[in-house]
Amino acid sequence: MRCFDVTRRSVPASLMKLYKSVILNKQIHQPPMLIEHKHTHAVNILQLFTISTAHIIRLHDRFKELDTERRGYLCPQDFGAIKGLAINPIGDRIIGAFFSPGRETVDFYTFVKILAHFRPADNIRPKESSSPEPINSRTNKLKFVFQMYDLDKDGKISRIDLLKALRGMLEMQVTEEQLDSIVDRTIQEADLDGDDAISFEEFRKSLEKVNIDHKMSIRFLR
Amino acid sequence: MEAAWDIASVLFQVWLSIVVGLIMLPAMFGVSLGFTDLYIKVLVKTLEWATRRIQRGQNEQPTLPSQSANGIIEKDDGSMEEEIGELRRSHPKSLAGVDFTLCDVFYFWKKGIENIVEDQVTQRFTSEELVSWNLLTRTNNNFCYISVRVTIMWGLGVFIRYCILLPLRITLAAIGLSWLVIGTTLVGFLPNSNVKNSLSDLVHITCYRICARGLSATIRYHNKENRPQKGGICVANHTSPIDIVILANDGCYAMVGQVHGGLMGVIQRSMVRSCPHVWFERSEMKDRTTVANRLKDHIADKTKLPILIFPEGTCINNTSVMMFKKGSFEIGGTIYPVAIKYDPQFGDAFWNSAKYNMVSYILRMMTSWAIVCNVWYLPPMSQQNGEDAVQFANRVKSAIANQGGLVDLSWDGGLKRAKVKESYKEEQQKMYSSMIVGTDCHENSVGPT
C-alpha cells in the first residue's frame, strides 16, 4: 500500500518532517523525478512516459535492489544476477537493450525508459496528431523488438541478422542446416517485396493479428 | 536509597511471581488462561481500525484488502508451449514441421522484462510485503504519516511492545532455555529406560512451551492424527529457526544439525544427554554418505524420536516452497510432511540471515506483536516404485505447498548466494527448440523443404 499525498490537512510541514526523519528513522527516498538528462535540460519522467507515481516508486525500489553496490547505476552483472533472466534464451539480448552502444552503465532514467515500452496501452488517448506517439504504442513496441532483431541497424532484418538471433536463442540445440532452413522459411513467409530481408513494414504486417498489447505489456497489480 | 532498593526488590518479586504463576506454570501443563487469545483479538480489531483509517485518509474504498496474490505484476501462468502457442494462433500452421514465427520472441521478451521488474526467486529471500500496515515501523515501506490517531496508536504500540512485552518475553525465554539445559542434564543422569524417555519428553515439551509463550506464539495444529511417529522423518518448509519451537510444542523430535559453539553448543550438548539427537561436526556434513548412514541408523531404531529435517536447506520468506534437497528422501523410511504458514500481520517470522544476525533477529521477534501460525500435519508418504528421490521430493513439496497456500517453486534455495547453473538455461533452450524443430524422429520423417 502506498501513499504519496504528503500534504496532510492540519499538520504543519515541519512537524511532519520531524516525524519522518526522527521517529520513522528512515529517509523517505525521493526517486529522481526531475533528472538532468544529457540532451534535454530537465525532463519530468512522469510526463514523458505517463507512468503513475506509484509505479515509478516501485521501479525505483527495484532499481535500488538490483544496484547491490549502491553506485546509483546498473551494470550488466547486476542484470545477470537476476535468476529468471539468466535462464532466458534471449537474456543477453534483453540486457543489451538497456545499454546504449558504448555505454557500460544504466541510470534510472534509461531503466525506466526501456521498461516504459512495456506499459499497457492507455485506453483513452488524445487524438492530437501533433503530439508524439507514446512510447508504449503498438508501433513503438514493434519498433523496439524490430531493433533487437536488426543488429546491423540497416532498417531491415537480413538473413544474417535472423541467423544470429536464432543462434543466440538456441545455441547448441539445433544444427546449421536446421537453422538455415528455419531462416529461409521465415524470410520467405514475411518478405513481400522480394529483397530477401524483412523491413519494418513487412515485420508489422506479419504480426498484424497478434495482440501486441497483451503479449508485450507488463501490468502492475498494485 | 534503602527504600528504593526495597521497592525495587518487591516489584521484582511481584513480577517474577506473575510470570511464573500466570504464564510459566500454565504453559508447562499445556493449559491456556486465555490471555494470549484476548490479546490477539484486541490486536486484530486495532489493526483493522488502523487500516480503515489509513484508507479513509487516502480517500479509498473502506474495505479490508485480503492478502493478495504473490507479486506486484500480473503474470501469465502458462507453460512455454501454451504461451507461444497462443502467440502463434493467428499465424497459419506450417506444414513442414519447422515452426518458427517472429512473434515467438515476444514470449521471451515479456518473461525477461517480468523478471527484471520482479524476480520470482530474489523476492523469496526478503520479507513479504504487507497489504496493509500493521503499526510496526519495520513494515512501513513508504507509508507516510497518516493521521494523529493512527500515530498515537503506533506510539502506544511501541510502548507496549518495548516496555511491557519485551522484558516479559526475555524473562520467559531465559527461564525456558535454562530449564531446558538444567532439566535435560538432570534427566541425563538416569539409566536408559522408559522413565527416562518420558521424563525427557516432558522436559523438552515444557521448555518449548515456555519459549513459545516467550514469543507470544499462537499456534493452531490441524490434522493431529497425522502427527509424525517414531522411526519416521518429519519434513517441513523452513522460514526461521523458530520453526523448531513451533513444531516441538506439539510433539518430540530428534533434531538434526551442525554442532555450534557458544550458547547453542551448550544447549545441544545437554539435549543430547537426555535423548538422542543427531548433531554433525562440520567436517562430517560434507560427506553425504556419513550423513545418510547416521540418519538411517537413527530411524532404524524404532524407539528413537522422529527426525526433524528442513530439506530446503535455507530460510525462505514463507510465500513459497523452494526445491527440496533429495538427501533426506534417499534414506528410506516414512516421510511425514508438515506445512507451516505464519500470519505476517502480527510479525514477520522470516530470518533474513544476510541482513540480521541471530541476536537482532530474536530481538525483532520479541518486539513484534505476536507470532501467529498454522501447522498442518499431512498424511505420511513413502517413496513409490519407479519414483526416484528427486520426484519423491517434488511430490512432497507440492503437497506441502498446496496445503499451506504457498507457491511451489522448483528453484534452489541455494540461489540465495549462488549463480544459476548453465544447465537451466540449456533446458529452456531445449524446450524451445523442440517446439521449433520437433523431436528427432519427426525431423527425419520430413522430406527436403
Amino acid B58: pLDDT: 66
pLDDT interval class at B341 (50, 70, 90): very high
Amino acid B246: pLDDT: 92
- The least confident of B74-88, B212-226, B368-382 is B74-88
Which residues from A are below 8 Å from B148, CB to CB?
Answer: 11
CA atoms within 13 A on the CB side of A19: 19
Amino acid B441: pLDDT: 34
What are the start-end ranges of the H helices in B189-256?
Answer: 194-213, 242-248
Q: Where are the domains of chain A?
A: 1-119, 137-222
Q: Is residue B442 part of a domain?
A: no
Q: CA B126, B131, B136, B138 torsion: positive or negative?
A: positive
Q: Is residue B409 part of a domain?
A: yes
Decide which of 1.10.10, 1.20.1090, 1.10.238, 1.10.8 is the CATH code for A1-119: 1.10.238
CA angle B162, B168, B174 (to 5 degrees): 120
CB contact under 8 A, A83 and B415: yes
Residues 32-91 of chain A whose Cβ lies under 8 A from any Cβ of chain B: 57-59, 61-62, 65, 79, 81-91
CB contact under 8 A, B74 and A190: no
3-state SS class at B205? helix
Q: Which helix (H) or strand (E) holds B309?
A: strand B307-309
CB contact under 8 A, A86 and B113: no
Check CB contact of A181 with chain B, cutoff 8 Å.
Answer: yes
Instruction: Kindly provide the ipTM of the predicted complex, given to two decimals.
Output: 0.77
- Cα separation, B72 vs A55, in Å, equals 10
Nearest by Cα to A78 from A66, A69, A63:
A66
Q: pLDDT for B400-429, tens place per residue?
A: 999 988 888 888 877 777 777 778 888 888
CB contact under 8 A, A82 and B148: no
CB contact under 8 A, A59 and B117: yes
Q: Which residues contact B278 (CB under 8 A, 6 or more apart)?
A: B254, B255, B256, B257, B294, B295, B298, B307
Residue written as grid cell 529461409: A184
Check CB contact of A30 with chain B, cutoff 8 Å.
Answer: no
The conformation of residue B192, written as its DSSP 8-state character, comes to S
Q: Is residue B253 part of a domain?
A: yes
CB contact under 8 A, A186 and B68: no
Query: Which member of B106, B145, B437 has the closest CB to residue A20?
Result: B145
CB contact under 8 A, B424 and A87: yes
Nearest by Cα to B83 from B101, B100, B104, B69:
B104
The percentage of residues in chain A with a pLDDT greater than 90, rounded to a whole number, is 0
DSSP string of B35-59, one letter each residue:
HHHHHHHHHHHHHHHHHHHHHHHTT
How many other β-carbons are positioned within 10 Å of the β-carbon of residue A70? 6
3-state SS class at B158? helix
Q: How far off is chain B from A14, nearest CA to CA, in Å?
A: 13
CB contact under 8 A, A185 and B96: yes
Q: Which domain does B393 fall in, by range?
A: 11-42+141-418
CB contact under 8 A, B425 and A91: yes
Q: pLDDT for B167-202, tens place per residue?
A: 888 888 888 888 889 989 988 888 888 888 888 888
Q: How far off is chain A from B57, nearest CA to CA, in Å?
A: 9
DSSP string of A31-90, one letter each residue:
P--EE--SSSS-EEHHHHH---HHHHHHHHHHHHHH-TT--SSB-HHHHHT-HHHHT-TT
Structural domain total, chain B: 1
Check CB contact of A164 with chain B, cutoff 8 Å.
Answer: no
| Domain A137-222: CATH architecture, name and number where available | Orthogonal Bundle (1.10)
- The least confident of A113-122, A209-218, B23-32 is B23-32
Tell which wins on pLDDT, B23 or B331.
B331
Q: Is residue B66 part of a domain?
A: no
Say how many CB pairs under 8 Å bridge A and B. Answer: 197
CB contact under 8 A, A3 and B437: no
Q: pLDDT for B239-254, tens place per residue?
A: 998 999 999 998 899 9
The percentage of residues in chain A with a pLDDT greater than 70, rounded to a whole number, is 70
- Cα separation, B331 vs B305, in Å, equals 16
Q: Is residue B174 part of a domain?
A: yes
Q: pLDDT for B252-307, tens place per residue?
A: 999 888 888 788 888 888 888 888 888 888 887 778 888 888 888 888 888 889 99
CB contact under 8 A, A83 and B119: yes
How many other β-carbons are positioned within 10 Å of the β-carbon of residue B448? 5
CA atoms within 13 A on the CB side of B35: 14
Determine which of B54, B77, B99, B144 to mutate to test the interface with A (most A C-beta atoms within 10 Å): B144
Q: pLDDT for B3-25, tens place per residue?
A: 888 888 888 888 878 777 777 77
CA angle B3, B5, B9 (to 5 degrees): 120
CB contact under 8 A, A19 and B151: yes
Residue A192 identity: L
pLDDT surpassing 60 at residue B149:
yes
- Cα separation, B253 vs A35, in Å, equals 59
What's the Cα-to-Cα distance from B179 to each of A189, B176, B213, B239, rounded to whole Å? 79, 5, 14, 26
Q: CA A94, B418, B429, B72 torsion: positive or negative?
A: negative
pTM: 0.74
Which bin fits A102, alpha (ψ -120 to 50), beta or left (φ > 0)?
A: left
Strand order in the sheet with B233-236: B217-222, B371-377, B335-342, B233-236, B307-309, B254-258, B278-280
Nearest CA in chain B to A217: B110
Residue written as grid cell 536447506: B313
CB contact under 8 A, A190 and B433: no
Amino acid B335: pLDDT: 92
pLDDT surpassing 90 at residue A102:
no
pLDDT surpassing 80 at residue A55:
no
Q: pLDDT for A69-87, tens place per residue?
A: 888 888 888 888 888 888 8
Residue B272 identity: V
Which residues from B are below 8 Å from A118, CB to CB?
Answer: 110, 113
DSSP string of A7-39, one letter each residue:
--SSS-HHHHHHIIIIIS-S--PPP--EE--SS
- The least confident of A51-55, A149-153, B36-40 is A51-55
Nearest CA in chain B to A168: B429
pLDDT interval class at B144 (50, 70, 90): low
- The least confident of A44-48, B10-14, B105-109, B389-393 is A44-48
Which residues from B are below 8 Å from A5, CB to CB?
Answer: 58
Q: pLDDT for B90-113, tens place per residue?
A: 666 655 555 777 778 888 888 888
Residues 99-128 of chain A whose Cβ lies under 8 A from any Cβ of chain B: 115, 118
Which residues from A are below 8 Å from B105, CB to CB?
Answer: 90, 145, 148-149, 165, 169
